[in-house]
Structures are given as C-alpha cells and as structure tokens.
Copies of this chain bind each other. A is one copy, B any other.
Amino acid sequence: MFQLDLKSGVPICDQIVNGFIKLKALGLISGGEQMPSVRSLALKFSINPNTVQKAYAVLEAQGIIYSVKGRGSFVSDDDRGHSAVIARAKEDFCTAVERARDLGLSAFELKEIVDGVYKTPKSGHKEEKNADG
C-alpha cells in the first residue's frame, strides 16, 4: 500500500486518489481486484470514512475504479480512465518544463535533474513520510 502524510498540507483525499493511481501505474493492483472497503481504509489510516468515500468517488469519476452497492469497490478492467490520467500527467509535466524554461533554465539543466531523480533509489526522499494520527 501507500502511506499518508497528514502534515504535508496536501489534502488527504488527494493523497488517497494519487496513491491508488500510482499503485495501478506500478501494476500493484489490477483490473477486477477488490479495493479495501471505505470503512476499513478509514480505520487503517485513522481518518474519517467520508474522506475515503470522497476519494473513491473521484477515482470512480475518473474511471479508475467502480463501485457496487452492497458489494464493494473494484479496480476497473477498462484502462481508458487510467490512461487519461497518465496523459494529463504528461501535460502537467510539459507545463512544468515551460515554467522552468521561462525562468531561464536550460534544457541541459532539466535533463540533468531528470537523470538525477531516476538514479535515486525507489523511495522519493522527501515525500510521504508516515501517517501520524
């Protein structure tokens, strides 16, 4: 699974949404698989079930998961929603590049940063420390 950083200022709901998108991107969850129930995840993270519910609603709206009343939530088989999210991520990265360029950074500098990040071991060094609640 992933972890929450309640101190980060990033809305908990967003962290949950992004957490599952990452898990799917990494192949750690896949089509048809059952999601943890709203209540169980809320309990696990010591947060309010409404927050989890909201995150699941966003994931469902994006086509990443689907929910069946009385049965649970499941990872979607169809990857269109997930692909759309990835496509948007590329656009976002493109915007980030433009911003850096506008501030005078060179293409060389940016590519160095890219390499630097990819050479770093798995875990992002400064994000998502632990769920303290």
Contact = CB atoms under 8 A, between A and B. Distances in A.
Given A68-B7, A71-B6, A96-B96, A89 B103 contact: yes
Interface in A72-102: 74, 76-77, 85-86, 89-90, 92-102
Nearest to A67: B9
Given A114-B107, A118-B107, A93 B96 contact: yes
**Copies of this chain:** 4
- Tell me whether chain A's interface is mostly helix, strand or loop, or mixed: helix
Interface of A: 6-7, 9, 11-12, 18, 21-22, 25-26, 32, 61, 66-69, 71, 74, 76-77, 85-86, 89-90, 92-105, 107, 109-111, 113-118, 124, 127, 132-133
Given A26-B104, A85-B103, 8 more contacts: A9-B67, A68-B133, A89-B100, A90-B109, A93-B113, A98-B124, A98-B127, A101-B118
